[in-house]
Amino acid sequence: MSDNRFDAMEAGAPVSGVFLLKEKSLAQSKVGKKYLTLTLSDHRGDIEGKLWDEADVIDTQLERMMPVHIEGVVTVYRERPQITVRTIRVLPWNEELAARLVPASRFELGDLLT
């Protein structure tokens, strides 16, 4: 049983939200079309994303560990949900995004230092 809450998402469901772009990889399909594989993360865990349109151009605009806003749809590949990304936009880091996207300790800093 998986503890990833993305596993409950149904194929065809729309996705719109802010994620941390943990990893990205530009690849080429068997028919020669370039695409990006993205590892997206939020409070639910990690989910793979695929971006097919203008992948080589968009790849140059993205860096690992940056916040992004995506619009897409849930698809299922090899019995696992993933997001087919329609649009992706880089967001500037701010305190609110950091609190939402970067895991925090359940312990107080003072307790950890003593």
Per-residue pLDDT tens for 58-101?
999 999 999 999 999 999 999 889 999 999 999 998 888 877 77
Single out the residue of 84, 94, 1, 82 nearest to residue 46, CA to CA: 82
Q: Tokens 């097919």 label which residue?
A: 52
Single out the residue of 98, 81, 94, 100 nearest to residue 17, CA to CA: 100
5-101: CATH topology is: OB fold (Dihydrolipoamide Acetyltransferase, E2P) (2.40.50)
Beta-sheet pairing, 66-77 with 14-28: antiparallel
pTM: 0.81
**What residues does 38 pair with on adjacent strands?**
24, 49
